[in-house]
């Protein structure tokens, strides 16, 4: 049995939509960075071939859970008769653009590849991950990455040490609706990886942010709330979570405490999340140089 396996969240330091394929999939450019805000999983093998999730998750039926689907996909691709028992502890907010479900799926693929001794390569596991969702491959890839295509064409990039304050508005955002919006910008000029090298969250923008703030006023209000406190934030992925980058954890922690104090004061004045305080949670995290389980895959 494997205990307390990390499934880290990701940030999109920028996210440009540069086109659309004939099949409707959007062509993206982004840089993924892992952070140490993470779900964790306990995983054990089962002899009966069943895949069972012990954890109850509101709004996520067992059959639809990406972690369960990942285990079953690995079974199909390898022909193994082994099963898996999954226990999941969620810390990454759902519907926040932080890739929590995709990261859970990747951790299951990596861990079961070891537990079941199926011996698949990183590239093979990434192909399985892509069947589950466009964000899954980067977690198997295991490094900060410049991504193109539908998010599946990955090139490793080195990022400087950074820390982040992650803000969860009192709102979740379904990804599908954002990409279907007719007003989404789909023709941002492509950039080269060399344009980004050595830079971080001051580069580019998130094309999805304008759509989200138009349809979800709570997210717009959260951005304004942060701006009023003196912090410029950017949305990650398709939202709703926002992030602020800092040179180090000390400065991020100082901002985190300031924002927590502001949130508590406004909540006590207004008796909870309200128009005065559109924020549900504020977290602090370090940027990671690589996925904690990257070296579990031999090739």
Q: Are strands 163-169 and 279-286 parallel, antiparallel or unpaired?
A: antiparallel
Structure tokens at 7: 């499934």
Residues 114/182, Cβ–Cβ less than 8 Å: no
State the Cα–Cα distance between residues 244 and 169, nearest whole angstrom: 14
State the Cα–Cα distance between residues 2 and 13, nearest whole angstrom: 32
Q: Is the dihedral of CA 90, 53, 171, 6 positive or negative?
A: positive
State the Cα–Cα distance between residues 172 and 97, nearest whole angstrom: 9
Closest C-alpha to 48, from 2, 1, 81:
81
Structure tokens at 183: 């007003």
Residues 5/43, Cβ–Cβ less than 8 Å: yes
Residues 240/100, Cβ–Cβ less than 8 Å: no
Closest C-alpha to 200, from 241, 142, 159:
159
Active site residues: 10, 135
Q: Dihedral through CA 15, CA 20, CA 21, CA 23, nearest 10?
A: 100
């Amino acid at each position: 049995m494997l205990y307390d396996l990390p499934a880290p969240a990701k940030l999109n330091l920028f996210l440009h939509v540069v086109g659309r394929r004939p099949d409707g999939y959007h062509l993206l450019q982004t840089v993924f960075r892992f952070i140490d805000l993470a779900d964790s999983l306990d995983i054990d093998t089962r002899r009966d071939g069943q895949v069972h999730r012990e954890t109850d998750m509101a709004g996520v039926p067992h059959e639809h859970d990406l972690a369960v689907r990942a285990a079953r996909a690995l079974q199909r691709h390898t022909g193994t008769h082994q099963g898996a028992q999954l226990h999941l502890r969620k810390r990454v907010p759902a519907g926040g653009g932080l890739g929590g479900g995709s990261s859970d799926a990747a951790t299951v693929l990596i861990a079961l590849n070891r537990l079941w001794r199926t011996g698949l390569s990183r590239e093979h596991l990434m192909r399985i991950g892509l069947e589950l969702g466009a964000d899954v491959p980067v977690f198997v890839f295991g490094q900060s990455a410049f991504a193109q295509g539908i998010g599946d064409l990955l090139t490793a990039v080195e990022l400087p040490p950074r820390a982040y304050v992650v803000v969860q508005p009192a709102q979740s955002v379904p990804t599908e609706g954002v990409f279907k919006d007719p007003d989404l910008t789909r023709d941002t000029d492509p950039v080269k990886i060399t344009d980004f090298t050595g830079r971080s969250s001051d580069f580019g923008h998130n094309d999805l942010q304008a759509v989200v703030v138009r349809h979800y006023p709570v997210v717009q209000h959260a951005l304004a709330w942060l701006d009023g406190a003196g912090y410029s934030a950017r949305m990650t992925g398709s939202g709703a979570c926002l992030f602020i980058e800092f040179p180090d954890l000390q400065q991020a922690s100082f901002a985190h405490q300031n924002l927590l104090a502001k949130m508590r004061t406004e909540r006590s004045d207004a008796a909870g999340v309200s128009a005065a305080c559109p924020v549900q949670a504020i977290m602090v995290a370090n940027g990671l140089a690589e996925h904690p389980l990257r070296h579990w895959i031999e090739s």
